[in-house]
Amino acid sequence: MKKQRKHCLYCGEIITKKYEAGVPRDYCPTCQTFFYENPLPVVSCIVESSRKILLVKRDRPPSRGSWCLPTGFAEAGESIESAALRELQEETGIKGKIVRLLDVDSYKSRFYGDLLFLAFVVEQTGGKLTAGDDCTEAKFWPLTKLPPLAFSSNKKALDAYIKSRKDYWAIFDSIEHAEDKKIPPKIAKNSLTRRLANFIVSNKNDIISQWLEDVTANPSTAEYHNYDLQTLQRIGDKILSQLTLWLGGLYDVSRIRNFYTKLGRERKNAGFKVSEALSALSLIRKHIWKLGLAHDALSRNLGLYMTFELQRRMTIFFDLATFYMTRGYEE
């Protein structure tokens, strides 16, 4: 339990209570001085490596024996950033640099009173992982196996960090499986993939409508100008449905090969030039982007990383479609 002030630190007189601005404060009647209780600043560091978080096992109260982020009090005469890096090195042996301030939280401790937790994201720049004097262990924990944390403010900051990185990690999961015939279900179900696929599904009719208007008038697709609109609409619908399934990991390369090889043969037998068939295909991709930009969906809802990922996955899909359609012509 935090000890209460009893004597004036200037004259040694007994402290009393006196109201100031409606708040009862410690007061020395001899010095006529108020003493203010301000929150103590506490710094914590989030250091991540390959989706593992650096934690330390406390060797002192409070919460002795529990795990927490590298955490400690800022001292007079040092910046808050310097305090965070100092505590990190003292407790873990790791040297680092501040990436950003992630979270600020208030906490009331039985031992210290009011605390102000500041959590920083830190990048390791050197050092060797070694437990310091204040802890018995220091190690990286996988995100899926994190132990209970000693401080609720640490948990709040770590939850915010994990949330901020989910889309980023999802992108690299999908890149890792880019050459797979089928994206693993766990990857296909992530929130990034769902949002990418939902964008196509919710705007499919508008995309097809704009594509039909373009393909039946564009100089690069002259042979489509008098083509049956219902047939074109079915083809457009099929392509967008395939793309949606591809984004969700439910449509593999073999099915793309079979469909577009057959489509290429059909367009060849119907007398279409290969250049016009490929141009018609590329116009669908054009109208996906055109509609997304018009609705501000790509920049506002998807963000930079997600826009990049949508472009990457669409490129793979349409490159495969183009390749196999050309194969159909060659056969």
Q: How far apart are CA 79 and CA 171, in angstroms?
A: 36
Task: State pLDDT tens for residues 230-252.
Answer: 989 999 998 888 888 777 666 67
How high is the pLDDT of residue 190?
53
Contacts of 290 (CB under 8 A, 6+ apart): 210
Provide the 10 A C-beta neighbour count for residue 75: 11
How high is the pLDDT of residue 243?
82
Whether 176 and 190 have beta carbons less than 8 Å apart is answered as no
Q: How far apart are CA 183 and CA 159, in angstroms?
A: 27
- The top-level CATH class assigned to 40-174 is alpha beta
Whether the link from the prior residue into 62 is cis, omega within 30° of 0, is: yes
Whether 286 and 221 have beta carbons less than 8 Å apart is answered as no
Task: State pLDDT tens for residues 280-314.
Answer: 989 988 888 777 666 554 445 455 555 666 677 77
Beta bridge partners of 56: 68, 138
How high is the pLDDT of residue 90?
95
Provide the 10 A C-beta neighbour count for residue 18: 14
CA-nearest of 117, 144, 158, 137 to 66 is 137
Work out whether strand 23-28 and strand 52-58 pair parallel, antiparallel, or are unpaired: unpaired
Q: Spell out the domain ranges in the chain.
A: 1-37, 40-174, 185-330
Reduce the DSSP state of residue 178 to 3 states and report it. Answer: coil
How high is the pLDDT of residue 198?
75
Beta bridge partners of 96: 124
Q: How far apart are CA 251 and CA 190, in angstroms?
A: 16
Claim: this prediction has a pTM higher than 0.75 = no
The residue whose two tokens read 């100031």 is 20
Reduce the DSSP state of residue 38 to 3 states and report it. Answer: coil
CA-nearest of 41, 123, 54 to 91 is 54
Q: Residues 20, 137, 330, 331: which is the catalytic one?
A: 137
The residue whose two tokens read 């949002």 is 195
In terms of phi and psi (left: phi > 0; alpha: psi -120 to 50; beta: otherwise), the region of 286 is alpha
How high is the pLDDT of residue 145?
93
| Distances from the Cα of 231 to the Cα of 103, 217, 236, 288, 324, angstroms | 55, 16, 9, 20, 20
Q: Give the architecture-level CATH label for domain 185-330.
A: Orthogonal Bundle (1.10)
Task: State pLDDT tens for residues 10-37.
Answer: 888 888 999 988 889 889 999 988 888 8
Q: How far apart are CA 43 and CA 85, in angstroms?
A: 9
Does 223 participate in catalysis according to the annotation?
no
Positions in the chain whose pLDDT score sits under 70: 1-2, 167-168, 170-196, 248-251, 292-310
Q: For Cα atoms 295, 298, 301, give the angle at the middle one, nearest 5 degrees.
A: 90
- For residue 126, give both structure tokens: 């050197």
Whether 102 and 69 have beta carbons less than 8 Å apart is answered as no
Is 1-37 in CATH node 2.20.70?
yes
The residue whose two tokens read 């696929």 is 197
How many residues in total does the chain contain? 331
